[in-house]
Amino acid sequence: MQKSASSQPIAHTPMMQQYLRIKQENYQHLLFYRMGDFYELFYDDAKRAAELLDLTLTARGQSAGEPIPMAGVPFHSVDNYLSRLVRIGVSVAVCEQIGDPALTKGPVERQVVRILTPGTITDDNLVDASQESIVSAVFFDSGQIGISTLDLSQGKLTVTKVGSLTELLSELHRIMPNEILLAENSPQPEALSTSQSPWAIQRRPMTEFFRSQLPSDLSAFFEQKLPQSLDSCVQSAVSALLHYAKETQRSAILHLNKISVDSYAAQLVLDQATRKHLELIESQSNQPKNTLFSVLNKTQTPMGSRLLKRTINRPLRDHRLLNERYDKIALFIENGACDPLQESLKHIFDIERITARLGLNTARPRDLSKLKASLQQIPQLSKTLGELQSAYLDTTLAHLDTPSELLNLLETWIIDNPPVTIREGGVIASGAHPELDRLRDLSEGNQNFLLELERRERQSCGIENLKVGYNKVHGFFIELPKSFNKSVPAHYIRRQTLKNAERYITDELKQHEEKVLSSQSKALTLEKRLYDELIEQLQSFIPYLQCCAETVAELDVLLSFATVSQTYDYRRPELVMHSKIAIDNGRHPVVEQRQKAPFIANSSCVDGQHRLHVITGPNMGGKSTYMRQIAHIVIMAHIGCFVPADYACIGKVDQIFSRIGASDDLSSGRSTFMVEMSETAYILKNATENSLVLMDEIGRGTSTFDGLSIAWATAYHLAQTTKAMTYFATHYFELTELSQHLDCVNNLHLDAIEQDNDLVFKHQVQQGWTDQSYGIQVARLAGVPASIIQAAQKKLNELGNESAIEPPKTKPQNAEVQLQPTALERYLSQIDPNMTTPMEALNHLVELKRISTK
């Protein structure tokens, strides 16, 4: 806001003084200030909104002799503008007129009734039903980092603690919050605020991170719900989040019912790079198509769709819970229950978000009608589930048991198709309240009275063109054409003059007007009070509604799994407790659905005998698809879904690491090779013998000898030291010699054949190795000019006559000593990629080259 606006408040009109006071209290948000039928913005807010929303920038009045910039939007279309702002990370304070202009001297009373931020939205008009609206708070304290996350739609607060910036980024990319709260004096790591970050950063006062500063109501919640054993960094993050929730919602948060502690030990950990490479929720082009989610999503409800995303993002390691999911999927498939159950789910609305709005006192009439319609579907859903006669579903049925008084309330009080808001009435059903019915009868009998009065007056005056009518501005009237001016009865009192007619009123009509308007006003006042009382009664059912919503969402996800499993011939995986992954005729779930040709299935096995597979073969031969396929099958097994394979035995897997695909990171000044080395360093540091590691083309971003040396040392370390379950795709066929030195290394390859001057990829994984990459043939397929292809072939022939590249000279007993992978490891472990400047990165690269070529 311009300085002149706040430095001379006396020079402003009372209305503008009111605006400036409210804006000062909400300086960090765009202020939508209600003025009649418009929301208006002033000063810098107006300029910013005009730019972001393509509004006309105009002016209203002056400040210190300068026009005050102003922009506005109609109140009836404001949701569209609010949605656009929140979607791009801009927070908005909505200021409404709460006073009665007729009873107010000076500006009508106004106050901010809601603050909309990207992470705290529960209104369906402002956020897509399939998208989550989440806010996280992060607090740094002596090497420990506390994270608390609030999903207002669920009324659920989750906390966890991590020990490094890398773990923080991994956790945040799993959660994908829309906003992150940081203390105003806290350092902000560059990696949290790059141009590619999907969240908005909000700086909050340090005092809000102090538990002792919580208001009494929030402090009581804190004491009751938060485990006392949590670290102080986590408690600080929770404090900030509770402050923020209360500030933005401007009301008690009645549906916030529990705090849960998240643990790495309970989940199959996927780091940021792995999520990106495997394209679980979004493709690498940030699109929802061609992802694991897009294949598995056959959900019927918005809350089911959101839960499916959370489920994919957080695979479980608890075999008991996973087997329970498998049992239910098998039950649904074997009994043909998917179709009837999903048919019931189709008619259930977003109970989760409706419940959130109930808890925040923002529920609208149509929320209640949708809630009524949804609960009316529950008996049929329960009936179909009960017919399966399975103990697996006892808890589900218990949670769906709808209290009769809840449904009676909704069916008694709310009409089926109410207006959008309570403002104009017409929401409460007839018969619900006798006094409301009486007042409505008075006002609704108005039409009969007007018709009868019109008939009598026409007969009395002898004027057939006489009309009796009503409008909101002038009230009731009798209208006569001007040609009858000389025939106007003496008891008619002129009310309004039109171009071709005169309008009059009589004492009888005036008395009727007062009675009707009084009854309408009383009916509307009574209806608003009854609606508020109904909301208060419904709030007592919030715990049941939350449980019901959660149960429906879980059922929706399991039915989605059952549907895709039945449709695509997925099989139940076997879970074992030792370190092993064995897959017979596995298929890539996404590629299989995307391509028209039949997918060629491939088997895979990592166990005690073979811990690392070196995969060679041509470009486009299917190496990356094969490795991603293994990861997808493991993830699907750990979210409780059947898998695309004839058989799958999945053992203990604690983490999946994927280094597939390459791109630079321009926003951080990191080259493709630096990104590759950073991801490799993270894997070498964090992988265990129970980790699944997928490495593709390590070392290709530098010179041949450097790249080969790094790839050799990395593969050797993973096989011999880490003993991780590893698939290592490479064009350095020299790496296949590792199998001669290490018994745990096995060679696999994919092949292609040249046929009629064309290249046919077989896509079949076979034992052994190949040194044929068919790079020139692939270049020809890609459309590289023939002259270039010929020159390349000539050069290849020349190189083939020269000495072949020698692999590093190693023997089993001294391989690590000779290539010094220990020194390489030691140096890589000292590098934090997220805290490295571009110049430091170049220096690291020089040193890595020096170490690897010793």
Considering 214, 245, 262, which residue would you say is the last residue of a domain?
262
Could you tell me if 70 and 149 lie in one domain? no
pLDDT of 590 reads 96
Residue 813, pLDDT > 50, answer: no
Could you tell me if 714 and 640 lie in one domain? yes
Question: 638 near 161, Cβ under 8 Å?
Answer: no
Q: Compute the radius of gyration of the chain from its Cα atoms.
A: 35
pLDDT of 846 reads 59
Could you tell me if 478 and 579 lie in one domain? no
Question: 734 near 600, Cβ under 8 Å?
Answer: no
Residue 809, pLDDT > 60, answer: no
**Residue 167 within a domain:** yes
Could you tell me if 649 and 671 lie in one domain? yes
**Residue 269 within a domain:** no
Condensed to tens digits (0 to 9), the pLDDT of residues 407-429 reads: 999 999 999 999 999 988 999 99
Only one residue has tokens 């109140």, namely 75
pLDDT of 657 reads 95
- CATH number of residue 762's parent domain: 3.40.50.300
pLDDT of 62 reads 81
Q: Residues of the chain with pLDDT > 90: what percent?
A: 57
Q: Report the range of poorest mean pLDDT among 66-80, 104-118, 693-707.
A: 693-707
Condensed to tens digits (0 to 9), the pLDDT of residues 495-514 reads: 999 989 999 999 999 988 88
**Closest among 692, 693, 733 to 712, alpha carbons compared:** 733
Q: Report the range of poorest mean pLDDT among 87-96, 249-258, 298-307, 378-387.
A: 249-258
- By CB atoms closer than 10 A (0-12, 13-18, 19+), residue 405 is exposed
pLDDT of 559 reads 98
What distance in Å separates the CA atoms of residue 155 and residue 544, rounded to the nearest whole number?
13
Domain that holds residue 689: 574-852
- CATH number of residue 311's parent domain: 1.10.1420.10
- The pTM of this model reads 0.84
- CATH number of residue 9's parent domain: 3.40.1170.10
Residue 816, pLDDT > 50, answer: no
Residue 196, pLDDT > 70, answer: no
Condensed to tens digits (0 to 9), the pLDDT of residues 533-587 reads: 999 999 999 999 999 999 999 999 999 999 999 999 999 999 999 999 999 999 9
Residue 92, pLDDT > 70, answer: yes
pLDDT band with cut points at 50, 70 and 90 for residue 803: very low
**Residue 812 within a domain:** yes
pLDDT of 693 reads 97
Could you tell me if 507 and 547 lie in one domain? no
Residue 664, pLDDT > 70, answer: no
pLDDT of 142 reads 83
pLDDT band with cut points at 50, 70 and 90 for residue 305: very high
User: CA of 196: how far to CAs of 51, 199, 544, 663, 679, in Å?
Assistant: 22, 9, 40, 14, 18
Could you tell me if 709 and 840 lie in one domain? yes
What distance in Å separates the CA atoms of residue 295 and residue 589, rounded to the nearest whole number?
7
Residue 5, pLDDT > 50, answer: no
Residue 447, pLDDT > 90, answer: no
| Residue 124 tokens, joined | 């369906």
**Residue 15 within a domain:** yes
What distance in Å separates the CA atoms of residue 652 and residue 238, rounded to the nearest whole number?
33
Could you tell me if 611 and 670 lie in one domain? yes
**Residue 279 within a domain:** no
Condensed to tens digits (0 to 9), the pLDDT of residues 316-331 reads: 999 999 999 999 999 9
Could you tell me if 93 and 139 lie in one domain? no
Could you tell me if 327 and 254 lie in one domain? no
Find the distance separating the first CA and the last CA of the chain, reported in whole Å. Answer: 61
**Residue 522 within a domain:** yes
Residue 848, pLDDT > 70, answer: no
**CB half-sphere exposure, 143, CA atoms < 13 A:** 0
Distance of CA 314 to the CA centre of its chain: 14
- Alpha-helical regions (H) of 766-814: 775-781, 786-801
CB atoms within 10 A of CB 781: 14
Residue 702, pLDDT > 80, answer: no
CB atoms within 10 A of CB 189: 17
Q: Mean pLDDT throughout 472-493?
A: 89
What distance in Å separates the CA atoms of residue 828 and residue 682, rounded to the nearest whole number?
9
Q: Report the range of poorest mean pLDDT among 94-98, 506-510, 795-799.
A: 795-799
Could you tell me if 31 and 73 lie in one domain? yes
Tally of domains in the chain: 5
**Residue 362: CB partners within 8 Å, gap ≥ 6?**
114, 122, 123, 251
Q: Report the range of poorest mean pLDDT among 141-150, 176-185, 770-779.
A: 770-779
**Residue 138 within a domain:** yes
Could you tell me if 776 and 656 lie in one domain? yes
Residue 168, pLDDT > 60, answer: yes
Could you tell me if 238 and 345 lie in one domain? no
Question: 132 near 260, Cβ under 8 Å?
Answer: no
Q: Can you spell out the DSSP letters for 443-463?
A: HHTHHHHHHHHHHHHHHHHT-
Condensed to tens digits (0 to 9), the pLDDT of residues 353-375 reads: 999 999 999 999 999 999 999 99
Considering 217, 239, 262, which residue would you say is the last residue of a domain?
262
**Residue 498 within a domain:** yes
Pairing of strands 38-42, 30-35: antiparallel
